[in-house]
Amino acid sequence: MSKITEQIEKIAQPITDELNLELVDVEFVKEGRSWFLRVYVDNPEAPIDIEQCASVSERLSEILDELDPIEQNYFLEVSSPGAERPLKKEKDFEKAIGKFIYIKTYEPILDAKEFEGHLQSYNEEEVQIEVKIKTRRKTIVIPRPKIAVIRLAIDFSAKPD
């Protein structure tokens, strides 16, 4: 995590706490010629709505204008993390046990760099995911340092209830 994102997390956390929202993630990225400060928030009680995102954006914008912690010009975006939210914090992993996830690795594991399946367990060193290969289910252990991306995923092969 960069110093800027750490700084913004410290600024945004009290705002989301006050609004009873969850601060999910902060990104500061350059796309083309523009910089974007993206703050992802969620409502643990119900689906987040645009008014809640706007409240966070307005309050955060005021404080950022006052403190001016970022040198370059940037666009502030506050939004929901979406259905395919990243798993970053301990509580994200806890909530995701048994759920369908996507993992992309930096290097091949068992001749693949992408995996989709149900999260079985995790710890600081590794993640265990149950994948379906043809008609069989298999548990794969993936070392955490080899994971480039890990997020919730939508299982399009699942049969509706």
pLDDT for the residue 160: 64
Mean pLDDT, the chain, integer: 92
pLDDT for the residue 148: 94
Residues 127, 63, single domain; the answer is no
Decide if pLDDT at 132 tops 90.
Answer: no
Residues 79, 23: Cα–Cα separation, whole Å = 10
Contact yes or no for 22/16 (Cβ under 8 A): yes
Decide if pLDDT at 92 tops 80.
Answer: yes
Residues 8, 53, single domain; the answer is yes
The residues pairing with 78 across neighbouring beta strands, listed in sequence order, are 39
Residues 114, 73, single domain; the answer is no
CATH number of the domain that residue 75 is part of? 3.30.300.70
Contact yes or no for 139/120 (Cβ under 8 A): yes
The two three-digit tokens of residue 9, written as one number: 């997390």
Query: pLDDT class for 51, splitting at 50, 70, 90?
Result: very high
Residue 161 lies in a domain: no
- Point out the domain boundary residue: 79, 106, 126: 79
pLDDT for the residue 7: 95
CATH number of the domain that residue 137 is part of? 2.30.30.180
The two three-digit tokens of residue 123, written as one number: 């710890």
The two three-digit tokens of residue 92, written as one number: 């994200």
Q: How many domains does the chain have?
A: 2
Residues 97, 69, single domain; the answer is no
pTM for this entry: 0.76
Residues 129, 74, single domain; the answer is no
Residues 99, 54, single domain; the answer is no
CA 156 vs. chain centroid, Å, equals: 20
pLDDT for the residue 159: 67
* Residue 76 identity (one-letter amino acid): L
Residue 157 lies in a domain: no
Query: pLDDT class for 1, splitting at 50, 70, 90?
Result: low
DSSP conformation letters of 39-59:
EEEE-SSS---HHHHHHHHHH
Decide if pLDDT at 21 tops 60.
Answer: yes
Question: What domain range is 15 assigned to?
Answer: 3-79
Residues 61, 102, single domain; the answer is no
Residue 159 lies in a domain: no
Residues 28, 66, single domain; the answer is yes
Of residues 156 and 134, the one with the higher pLDDT is: 156
